Amino acid sequence: MLTRCPDNSLWPLARPMQLNRPWIFALAIVFFASGCSGSNNSSADSPTSPNKAAGQSVSLTGAGSTFVTPAMSKWAYAYTQAHPDVSINYQSVGSGAGIGQFEAGTVDFGATDVAMSDSDLKSAPEGAVQIPMITGCTVVAYNVPGVANGLKLSGDVIADIFLGTIAKWSDPRIVSQNPGVTLPDLPVAVIHRADSSGTTYIFTDYLCSVSPAWNAGPGKNKSPKWPTGVGGKGSEGVSGLIKRTPGSIGYVELAYAMQTKLTYGPVRNKSGKYVDPSVESTTAAANSQVRALTKDIRVSIVDCSAPDGYPIAGFTYAILSKKPKEAPKGKALVEFLNWVLGPGQDMAKELNYAPLPKSIADINKAALAEVQTK
């Protein structure tokens, strides 16, 4: 758990971290502003919390996506610094578990990288509202001795690696895309998620779009039947396995790759261009689908047509009840999420997430207005 607040202007998880520090990507990230020292950060300004005047405190609990955990930790710390009457406990348990906990009523909100269907939203307790919170990208990270950042891979090659049909790093299909790079005759060790994961869903959605063999085989799923490889629990588990396993390859959110100093490279997009994962290339992917997203916020943005778009990108969605059991909690949660859609977007850029297109943020705010908080 994170129970210690920094005494300077830096944020939790914003610095490069080492995996042996036990509090990096803890499964439960808890922020109690009342126990922290330091002044409020001006970037976290927002309307006064609904319970401040009444002298009440509100504790919000959420669970789900590991993809969004670095951003969520930063949001929660900043928001609770500015609103000491609100505490936010977010459990990084994976999208599948987050949806399950929300549906069971054990948390106030869920976070998922796999959008819920209309029928699922209607069948949730008291009905549910679903909004995308942020855009992120999944990198293909590797640990190949002697190979630095920048290894180029095309989608068909990535798919065949995870299918197990490309088994050596010296395979001609990898070598041909990387002239001048000395690739060892080393077995490829595939690392994937062991839990039900929205990051996996985004990754396999991409693989389906670039590989008929993957589409006809494992398919698009939060927890597919993997043809090969070893599973790690959560993005932090996958990151750790890649770091410890020479010859390995896996997939994690960009913030995890950067903070744990994993090695990764560009992926060839639909236009034939090798594009590095970044805020700019993820933004390009999201903007390429704005028209479709205004009609349905669940539209996939993988394998986009934007020339500068990164092809493995997606959204993390917040899900919350339309009729919260406790009105003060409902009001506090809506205010927090509206803040996430405002100042929180630029704040997350520092962790290499891409802000939502304004038109999508506006749709989200209209959806939040449907939540009954009185």
CATH number at residue 355: 3.40.190.10
- C-beta separation of 26 from 1 below 8 A: yes
**67 lies in the same domain as 178:** no
Domain that holds residue 103: 28-135+316-368
Q: Are residues 187 and 279 in the same domain?
A: yes
The answer to whether 298 and 152 have CB atoms below 8 angstroms apart is no
Q: Is the pLDDT of residue 295 over 60?
A: yes
The 3-class SS string of 61-99 reads EEEECCCCHHHHHHHHHHHHHHCCCEEEEEEECCHHHHH
Q: Are residues 125 and 35 in the same domain?
A: yes
Q: How many CA atoms lie within 13 A of 319 on its CB side?
A: 34
The answer to whether residues 280 and 179 belong to one domain is yes
* Mean per-residue pLDDT, 24-46: 39
Residues 283 and 156 in one domain: yes
288 and 143 inside one domain:
yes
Q: pTM of the full predicted structure?
A: 0.84
Span 3-16, mean pLDDT? 35
> Does 173 lie in the same domain as 130?
no
Q: For 149-163, what is each residue's pLDDT tens digit?
A: 999 999 999 999 999
Read off the pLDDT of residues 303-316 as tens digits, 9 standing for 90 and up.
999 999 999 999 99
Q: Is there a single domain that holds both residue 141 and residue 279?
A: yes
pLDDT band at 55 (very low <50, low <70, confident <90, very high): low
The per-residue pLDDT for 118 is 87
Residues 35 and 76 both lie in one domain: yes
**CA–CA separation, 287 vs 357, rounded Å?**
7
Examine the pLDDT at 44 and tell me if it is beyond 70: no
Is position 298 within any domain? no
Phi, psi of 11 (to 5 degrees): -105, 155
Q: How many domains does the chain have?
A: 2
Interval 253-259 mean pLDDT:
92
Q: Are residues 287 and 273 in the same domain?
A: yes
Structural domain includes residue 374: no
Please check whether residue 334 lies inside any domain of the structure.
yes
pLDDT in tens, 114-169: 999 888 888 887 789 999 999 999 999 999 999 999 999 999 999 999 999 999 99
Judgement on whether residues 273 and 143 belong to the same structural domain of the protein = yes
